Amino acid sequence: MIPAIDITGLTKRYRALEALGGVDLQIRQGEFFGLLGPNGAGKTTLISILAGLVRPTSGSARVMGHDVVTEYRAARRMLGVVPQELVFDPFFSVRETLRIQSGYFGLKKNDDWIDEVMHHLNLTDKADANMRALSGGMKRRVLVAQALVHRPPVIVLDEPTAGVDVELRQGLWTFIRRLNADGHTIVLTTHYLEEAETMCNRIGMLKQGRLVALDTPANLIRRFHTVYLKVRLEGEPPAALAARASVDEAGRHCFKLDNYGDVEGMLGALRAAGCRIVEMEVAQPDLEEVFVNIMGGQAQQ
């Protein structure tokens, strides 16, 4: 089976600025893939190349086997992109906007699918409303609908839940999960790392235009064997132990340990020092901590 997205040696330079520095990446059909990175890491450049909005300096990118440069029309039909920006035509209603989007892809009599998409995005009662009259959250729903109107097998969601309410976020993820279960490949960029950890099968992290991590969320987290022991104490620990801990806003001492086997030793040391343990929590790193560590240069692919 061909990859949904196949990127080889992809570079993009803007004079002295290297936005992408040789990215190699394959995303499987049906995968839910997270593309993470700080601002300026190259995520938008990579998405723009896939969408045919930017030409790469070198290398290649294919969507469902179609080269995004030499087979632009075929590649673009395979892809639906939900952009970060709220871009819309203020002169049309929601239904008219989706019909026009269908026309871009040569689709006639697409109203049944448009109705289904609007239903799942809770847009049905806004079908005849002018785009100017919609709230920001509703406009974002229309952007999602536009990306889906030609039924692309690959869907790119670029910060889809930025600035939207909880109800929309939950409804959107329910619909996207359904699309993924039906075989659509999903590529997600987000700054909400808990979303990526929960939703994605694999995650790639970009840093300064290069792919610096690529694995499942569980495996990425497993790289960091850190365990956090958070305890509320009666009595101050001696200086040697206190130096190994930070104190959080709740007044708990937080000890960073190498593995779970060190937990009992630390608890024993605290008891031996005369500290009474009132409250205890043992936690492992989450994707946010892994992201911070990788972006800080403490791990490589």
List the domains of the chain with CATH numbers.
5-221 (3.40.50.300), 225-284 (3.30.70)
Q: What are phi and psi of 89, to 5 degrees?
A: -95, 120
Structure tokens at 298: 């403490």
Predicted pLDDT at 202: 96
Q: Classify residue 161 as exposed, middle or buried by CB count within 10 Å of its CB (0-12, 13-18, 19+).
A: buried
Digit-by-digit pLDDT tens for the chain (301 residues) are: 899 999 999 999 999 899 999 999 999 999 999 999 998 899 999 999 999 999 999 999 999 999 999 999 999 999 999 887 777 778 899 999 999 999 988 888 898 999 998 988 888 999 999 898 888 778 888 888 999 999 999 999 988 777 667 777 787 788 889 889 999 999 999 888 888 999 999 999 999 999 999 999 988 888 776 788 999 998 888 888 889 998 888 889 999 888 888 999 999 999 999 999 999 998 877 888 888 888 885 444 4
pTM across the whole model:
0.80
Structure tokens at 179: 């699309």
Q: What are phi and psi of 127, to 5 degrees?
A: -55, -35
Predicted pLDDT at 174: 85
193 by DSSP, 3-state: which?
A: helix
Predicted pLDDT at 297: 58
Show contacts of 164-168: CB within 8 Å, 24+ apart.
Answer: 164/136, 164/137, 164/140, 165/137, 168/122, 168/137, 168/140, 168/141
Predicted pLDDT at 83: 84
Q: Side-chain half-sphere of 159: how many Cα atoms within 13 Å?
A: 13
Distances (CA, A) of 177 to 123, 154, 155, 171, 185: 18, 13, 12, 10, 10
- What is the distance of C-alpha 32 from the center of its chain? 10
